[in-house]
């Protein structure tokens, strides 16, 4: 049975736009995954140490994979783009976060769903609200649109190519 998942994509090293486009195409080619709605690309000021601006997006993926399998796929794709986890909130070639997996709530040492900080992050909520404004957060019971109204979206701009 397929489950809808929300994924956040971000990059601020290399050709970030191309990295995100390639990642979405790659996700769509994986058995048991199908990319559905996807947001526009957004330019976002970084959080953390001084670094280039980010390019962010969100996508809805229909999948037959389990949450743990989804996480492994995302980590493998990050690694294939040279992602090395050095410092918290540091620059990265590719960052993929599994935000939501249907209405599942999971808390294990390796995976927390829904993503524990998604409700605080305009760079996640702005693109996610574009494609899934009515998706209800399974813990707070608020929609993505409601969560977005509780954060400051300044600093998150649609990328004009």
- At residue 49, the pLDDT reads 77
Report, as an integer, the average pLDDT of 41-46: 92
CA distance to 39, 93, 120, 126, 135, per residue, from 101 (Å):
18, 24, 18, 18, 11
- pLDDT-above-90 percentage for the chain: 83
- pTM greater than 0.85: yes
Q: Give the residue numbers marked as catalytic.
A: 83, 92, 95, 97
pLDDT at 46 over 80: yes
pLDDT at 52 over 60: yes
Give the chain's mean pLDDT: 93
When pLDDT is cut at 50, 70 and 90, the band that residue 85 belongs to is low
pLDDT at 56 over 70: yes
Helices (H), 15-149: 16-28, 67-80, 122-131, 144-148
- At residue 83, the pLDDT reads 59
Report, as an integer, the average pLDDT of 75-80: 93
CB-CB neighbours of 160 under 10 Å: 7
Distance CA 43, CA 2 (A): 31
Report, as an integer, the average pLDDT of 48-69: 94
pLDDT: which is higher, 100 or 160: 100
When pLDDT is cut at 50, 70 and 90, the band that residue 86 belongs to is low
* Two structure tokens written together for 145: 């649109």
125-156, pLDDT tens digit by residue?
999 999 999 999 999 999 999 999 999 999 99
110: DSSP letter: S
User: What's the count of helices (H) and strands (E) in the chain, helices before strands?
Assistant: 4, 8
Report whether the peptide linkage leading into residue 20 is cis, meaning its omega lies within 30 degrees of zero.
no
Distance CA 161, CA 122 (A): 21
When pLDDT is cut at 50, 70 and 90, the band that residue 51 belongs to is confident
What domains can you pick out in the chain, each with its CATH number?
Answer: 3-158 (3.30.70.560)
pLDDT at 89 over 60: no
């Amino acid at each position: 049975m397929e489950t809808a998942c929300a994924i956040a994509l971000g990059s601020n090293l290399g050709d970030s736009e191309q990295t995100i486009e390639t990642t979405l195409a790659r996700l769509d080619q994986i058995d048991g995954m199908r990319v559905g709605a996807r947001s526009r690309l957004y330019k976002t000021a970084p959080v953390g140490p001084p670094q280039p601006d980010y390019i962010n997006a969100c996508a809805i993926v229909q999948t037959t994979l389990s949450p743990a399998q989804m996480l492994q796929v995302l980590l493998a794709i990050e690694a294939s783009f040279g992602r090395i986890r050095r410092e918290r909130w540091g620059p990265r070639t590719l960052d993929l976060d599994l935000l939501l997996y249907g209405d599942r709530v999971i808390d294990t040492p390796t995976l927390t769903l829904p993503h524990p900080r998604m409700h605080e992050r305009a760079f996640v909520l702005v693109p996610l609200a574009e494609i899934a404004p009515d998706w209800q957060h399974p813990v707070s019971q608020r929609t993505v649109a409601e969560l977005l109204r509780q954060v400051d979206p300044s600093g998150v701009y649609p990328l004009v190519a």
